[in-house]
A and B are shown apart, each in its own frame.
Chain A
Amino acid sequence: MSITTVKPWPKMTGRDEFRFLADLVLKRSSADQTVVNLYDQHSGTTRFASSRIIQNVDTRRGTLTVTVAFDGHRGSASTTDFSAGSVQDTLARAERIARVSPEDPEYLPPPDPQIFPTLQTSRPETAAAGPPRRLEYANEAIGQCRIENLEAAGIVSSSVASVGIAASNGLFAQEERTEARFSLTVQAEDATGWSAAAHRSIDHLRIQDRTLTAINKAKRSRDVQELPPGRYRVILEPAAVAGLWSWMLWTLDAKSYEKGTSPFADQLGRQILDERLTLQNLPGHPDLLGTGFTHEGLPSEDAVWIEKGVLKQLAYDRFTAKQQRIKRIATLEAPCLSASGPTALKTQELIKQCERAILVTNFWYIRTVNPTDLTLTGMTRDGTFLVEDGQITSAVRNFRFHESPLRVFRHVDACTEPAEAVTSETGKMLVPAVILRDFHFSSVTRF
């Protein structure tokens, strides 16, 4: 593939270029406060199915958003055209909107200039990876599956983004962020196995290992039996745990809490989960996708959200934080769930501990059923097995679950060390595999 003969993409918007663009806005703005957000991304994905390339794309999209306020009257406009004329037109649009928008009683000026942590959010090997590297990885996964006479479907993607915020009060931050992803579904006739990875570095995707994992799951899923719905002891692999925990994290917002429309109502400072469980934000962790600052220009920080099962933090918007006299707003873009006490190294050790349990690789299409108690539903997917006497004895048909993580994580029988987890429906986390009891599977599907 002779991509080198094609001229490279125009340079990403770096720190100096962003400062120049921001000044075009800030120096001309007539508003009381002005904020400029930058998101300039170059991304590509090679997608394959039935062991052949079905889609191969490379895209550059830059977006500049201007938000202004006059006396609490706010307006926002964005553009993908970074020419001086367009940037100034975007400012004019934002000002026009603000002048006729009603006053927002919750409006707050941008945060004061901050000191932001310097994190390794960008890896040169990912920024440099283009279509040839992605194609090479896709070919590697497809090739391994072909050797086993199995079909491969999946993606290899890589991206680099320049992200920035600048405000009229001197707030300024800019950083480059890279991300690489691999996910693979292996099909063995009617059976499937899956594995996925996401990392700042494309070198850490471990294509071969993860392909073998998906192949093994697909092969083990061939002999399937149907079990009745009911309450089962379950071993949830990290991706399945991440699926349930994502919904808990998304519903931690403080405004809903204060208005009594949160499943965590009145639980701040109280024991809500197993006392072994601790949830932290670790933006500097090399295997998480931490960032130096938020969209609003607040610094990312290490924070404990749930400590030994006790709820310690809520996700505050700046207005609610001011109302509640919260000095520092905790962020949660790099979640790590861990357990105190003895833990197993791998899921395999949990399997050995179970006389009878259902092993779940992943959940799919998780949605809220009842927001009051955070009852969720969803399906098991791509590798659901019966464990008997410490080993996998067969695959089972996929179940639908009907369960609240707030109920089922009140007691964890056993767990592993935190491991990397990412699904098509969640961001990346570090979470353990766990054994839970009385997990409610409400129905069974046809495969």
Chain B
Amino acid sequence: MTLSDRDEMAELALKRVRESGAEYGDIRLMQSMSQTISGEDRRIASVRDVADSGFGVRVLYHGGWGFAASSILSLEEVPRVADLAIEIAKGSASLASERARLVDEPIHRDRVVTANRIDPFTVPLDQKTMLLQDVMEYVQRQPEVVRSHASLWARGDKKLFVSTEGTRLEFDLLAVQGEFTATARHDGRFASRTFTTPHLRTGYELIESANFMAEAPRIASQAVEKVKAPAVRPGTYDLVLDPEHLSLTMHESCGHPSELDRALGYEANYAGTSFLTPEKRGSFQYGSSQVNLVADNTEPDTLAATGYDDDGVACQKWDIVREGVFVGYCTNREVASKIGEARSKGSNRADSWGSVPIVRIANIGLEPGQASLQDLLADVKRGIYIEGHGSYSIDQRRYNFQFGGDAFWLIENGKRTHMLRDVIYHGITPEFWNSCDGVADRRYRRRYGFITCGKGQPGQSGWMTHAASHARFRRAAVIKG
């Protein structure tokens, strides 16, 4: 389908919306391609190419929302789907006790392209499968490693967004990620260790620079060391958390509570609400003075840095927590007005043409501090150093959390000594972040992202990146998992 075809479809849909008397409408036409290569126990278990195309029309009529979408991309289908979205919006408006209203946004006309050196879809498939087979073969050759998994993933999205306000945006986006896992067995137990690249908006150069084969010996030996390690003794420990681990901690305990739609009750029936209610903004002591959490949807290569969101709002950078105080939310054009903000932060995203955009977590990251990692460890008498992701769970208002990790080391008198297994820590979000007394400097900053952040009904997957340097937390409650 040519660009002029898509423009013709967009105009056809938006003409119907304008003529209906609706106050707002937009259309997103998308053609996506993804490739997932999955390996298991030395073999390539599947290679899947998914082509997914369609369009969705969103209408705001007298304060009521309607949305209709179809994978049938044709000039005949567009007006029918637009009419359906209009009628659905009228139905919503008939029950509206309160009208939805959109805050203003300048009109944008732009094209956004992911910068990349190597298009992942042009890399020969046998080169990719060989990489996965080689790394699985290596880790499974190690005594006591009994299973291996490895995967590569890439996605490209070509999108056209046009609104009745005159905004027209073209997107040509890429995202890439790879990982592998070794599972070791010992004495009736089993344990896994994973190496993962971040999910980033780059080309295949991300995979090449990750150098799986150089990481494989460490991952395999740590899987074995982990399964043989002593179980943690429950108690109170200081924690030093690595950037990969912190990405999940931040996502769950800071990212989700800072979504304004949750704080306003939109997700009460599913993902939950938020303890960060609007009256706390500007005064609530979320964390210690070391804690500065910044949303930055403008940082190159990151998942939420798409130039504009699915409201057509330009990506921005803003504070969520400044010197420990909660100051900002992730918003869209609808909810921003409910807290008196004149402009959306640009955090409204849909996971496909068939989904309606909802407020998503931005690229929220922990700002670097002044310490080195050695400084953070040196001041710990009895603690645990944690890398990577493990078990995770948090309540629906984001107070009570519990996290595991991928690898754990006991810290004694300022030194990492040996690995531990079955480490789980739990706490209450603001108490935990108020116990943060040190953050490593910019040299240690790493970025990790998520593409499976579940929210919304029907469920959607959100994409965002969380950057951090290592950070230290005092006197956390640790139990044996």
A: residues with CB less than 8 A from B are 1-3, 5-7, 9-10, 43, 45, 47, 49-63, 74-82, 86, 90, 93-94, 97, 100-102, 104-106, 131-132, 135, 138-139, 142, 151, 153-155, 157, 183-185, 187, 192, 194, 259-261, 265, 364-372, 375, 377-379, 381, 398, 400, 402, 424, 442-447
Known: A102-B133, A445-B428. A400 touches B95 (CB 8 A): no
Complex contact B92–A424 (CB within 8 A)? no
Known A-B contacts A50-B264, A259-B147, A365-B394; the reply to A6 vs B80 at CB < 8 A is: yes
What's the nearest-Cβ distance from chain A to residue B312, in Å? 19
Which residues does chain A contribute within 8 Å of B188, judged by CB atoms?
265, 372
Interface centre among B73, B189, B269, B428 (most CB of A within 10 A): B269
Contacts of A106 in B (CB 8 A): 43, 45
Contact stretch, chosen from B21-29, B59-67, B151-159, B292-300: B59-67
**Contact in complex: A52, B396 (CB < 8 Å):** no
Binary per-residue interface labels of chain B (304-331) against chain A in the complex, 1 for a CB within 8 Å, 0 otherwise:
0000000000000000000000000000
B71 and A60 form a contact (CB under 8 A):
yes
- Complex contact B91–A131 (CB within 8 A): yes
A80 near B90 with CB under 8 A, answer no
Question: A369–B268 contact, CB under 8 A?
Answer: no
Collect the chain B residues with CB atoms within 8 Å of residue A55's CB: 65, 67, 356, 358, 457
Per the bound structure, the CA–CA distance linking A284 and B114 in Å amounts to 50
Flag whether B5 is at the interface (Cβ < 8 A). Answer: no
B46, A446: Cβ atoms closer than 8 Å: no
The interface residues of chain A lying within 8 Å CB-to-CB of B88 are 1, 3, 56-58, 131
Q: Interface readout for B449-478 with A: 1 if CB under 8 Å, 0 if not?
A: 000000001100000000000000000010
- In the complex, are the beta carbons of B397 and A78 less than 8 A apart? no
Q: List 16 A-B contacts (CB under 8 A).
A: A3-B91, A6-B87, A10-B77, A50-B266, A57-B88, A60-B70, A81-B71, A97-B125, A100-B125, A100-B129, A102-B133, A367-B393, A370-B422, A400-B393, A442-B402, A447-B397
Q: Are A93 and B49 in contact (CB under 8 A)?
A: yes
Are A59's CB and B45's CB within 8 A? no
B263 to nearest A CB, angstroms?
12
User: B50, B51, B129, B479 — which one has the most chain A CB atoms within 10 A of its CB?
Assistant: B51
Determine the chain B residues whose CB is within 8 A of the CB of A75 once the complex forms.
47, 49
Contact in complex: A56, B91 (CB < 8 Å): yes
Q: Known: A10-B72, A379-B395. Is A76-B356 also a contact (CB below 8 A)?
A: no
A53 and B64 in contact (CB under 8 A), knowing A78-B50, A185-B268, A424-B270?
yes
Contact A45-B268, Cβ < 8 Å, known A52-B96, A56-B89, A367-B391: no
Question: A94 to chain B: which residues have CB within 8 Å?
Answer: 49
Partner of B95, one of A52, A93, A371, A377: A52
Assess whether A443 is in contact with B354, with CB atoms less than 8 Å apart: no
Q: Which residues of A contact B69 (CB under 8 A)?
A: 57-61
Most A C-beta atoms less than 10 A away, residue of B70, B80, B183, B479: B70
Closest A-B pairs by Cβ, 5 of them: A445-B400, A1-B91, A153-B268, A80-B71, A185-B269
Q: Is the pair B65, A381 in contact by a Cβ cutoff of 8 Å?
A: no
Contact (Cβ within 8 A) A369 B83: no
A445 CB to nearest B CB, Å? 4
Q: Which chain B residues numbered 103 to 151 have a C-beta less than 8 Å away from chain A?
A: 124-126, 129-130, 133, 146-147
Q: How far is the CB of B350 from chain A (nearest CB, A)?
A: 10
Check B479 against A155 for contact (C-beta < 8 Å): no
Cβ-defined contact, B65 with A56, below 8 A: yes
CB proximity of A104 to chain B, nearest CB, Å: 6
B425 to chain A minimum Cβ distance, whole angstroms, is 11
Task: Indicate if the CB atoms of A372 and B356 lie closer than 8 Å.
Answer: no
| Closest CB in chain A relative to B421 CB, distance in Å | 9
Do B87 and A1 have beta carbons less than 8 Å apart?
yes
Of all chain A residues, which has the CB nearest B183? A261
B146 touching A260, Cβ below 8 Å: yes
Query: Known: A59-B70, A101-B129, A365-B393. Is A50-B47 also a contact (CB below 8 A)?
Result: no
Residues of A within 8 A of B270 (CB): 155, 183, 424
B458 contact from A43, A52, A104, A260, Cβ within 8 A? A43
The chain B residue with its CB closest to the CB of A43 is B458
Interface centre among A10, A47, A184 (most CB of B within 10 A): A47
Q: Do the beta carbons of B189 and A372 come within 8 Å of each other?
A: yes
Question: In the complex, A225→B288 CA distance in Å?
Answer: 30
Contacts A56-B67, A106-B43, A364-B396 hold; do A442 and B426 have CB atoms under 8 A apart?
yes
Give complex CA distance A86, B126 in Å.
Answer: 25
Question: B43 and A187: CB pair below 8 A?
Answer: no
Is B54 among interface residues, defined by CB-CB distance under 8 A?
Answer: yes
User: Are A51 and B97 in contact, CB atoms less than 8 angstroms apart?
Assistant: yes
| Alpha-carbon gap, A235 to B428, bound state (A) | 26
Within the complex, the shortest CB–CB distance from A426 to chain B, in Å, comes to 13
Q: By the criterion CB–CB under 8 Å, are A76 and B268 in contact?
A: no
Query: Complex formed: what's the CA distance from A370 to B83 in Å?
Result: 51
A52–B65 CA distance with the chains assembled, in angstroms: 11
Nearest-Cβ distance from residue B75 to partner chain A, whole angstroms: 14
Q: Which of B96, B267, B393, B399 has the most CB of A within 10 A?
A: B393
Please give the distance in Å from B55's CB to the nearest CB on chain A.
11
Cβ of B459 to closest chain A Cβ, rounded Å: 8
Rounded to whole angstroms, the CA-CA distance of A101 and B37 in the bound complex is 10
Q: Which residues of A contact B264 (CB under 8 A)?
A: 49-50
Given A77-B50, A377-B391, A377-B393, 15 extra CB contacts under 8 A: A9-B70, A10-B77, A51-B97, A52-B95, A52-B97, A54-B266, A75-B47, A80-B71, A97-B47, A97-B125, A135-B95, A260-B146, A260-B185, A400-B400, A445-B397
Q: How far does the alpha carbon of A61 sit from the alpha carbon of B264 in the complex, in Å?
A: 31
Chain A residues near B424: list those with CB within 8 A.
369, 377, 402
Candidates B44, B397, B479; contact of A102 at CB < 8 Å: B44
Cα A105 to Cα B126 with chains together (Å): 17
Q: Measured between alpha carbons, how far is A177 from B65 in the docked complex, in Å? A: 28
Q: How far is the CA of A102 from the CA of B73 in the complex (A)?
A: 35
- CB contacts (< 8 Å) of A5 on chain B: these are 83, 87
A154-B424 Cα distance, complex, nearest whole Å: 33
Interface assignment of B53: CB less than 8 Å from any CB of chain A: yes
Inside 8 A of A2's CB, which chain B residues have their CB?
Answer: 87, 90
B130 / chain A contacts, CB cutoff of 8 Å = 102
User: Provided the pairs A49-B266, A131-B87, A378-B393 are in contact, do residues A74 and B189 lie with their beta carbons within 8 angstroms?
Assistant: no
Complex interface: chain B residues within 8 A of A154 (CB): 269
On chain A, the residues within 8 Å of B92 by CB distance are 53, 56, 135
For the complex, give the distance between the alpha carbons of A417 and B242 in Å: 49
A7 touches B83 (CB 8 A): yes
Compute how far the CA of A21 lies from the CA of B282 in the bound complex, rounded to whole angstroms: 59
B220 at the interface (CB under 8 A from A): no
Whether A379 and B393, one on each chain, are in contact in the complex, defined by CB atoms closer than 8 angstroms, is: yes
Q: Once the chains bind, are B268 and A54 in contact (CB under 8 Å)?
A: no
Q: Whole-angstrom distance from the CB of A130 to the nearest CB of chain B?
A: 9
A76 engages B265 (CB within 8 Å): no
B48 at the interface (CB under 8 A from A): yes
B284 close to chain A: CB less than 8 A: no
Of A53, A81, A142, A442, which one neighbours B479 at CB under 8 angstroms?
Answer: A442
Residue B260 lies at the interface, judged by CB distance under 8 Å to chain A: no
CB distance from B278 to the nearest CB of A (A): 14
Chain B residue at minimal CB-CB distance from A266: B188
B56 to A, closest residue via Cβ: A59
Task: Using A56-B65, A132-B91, A139-B95 as known contacts, say yes or no to A80 and B126 having CB atoms under 8 A apart.
Answer: no
Look across to chain B and name the residue whose beta carbon is closest to the beta carbon of A378.
B393
A265 to B146, CA, bound (A): 14
B98 at the interface (CB under 8 A from A): yes
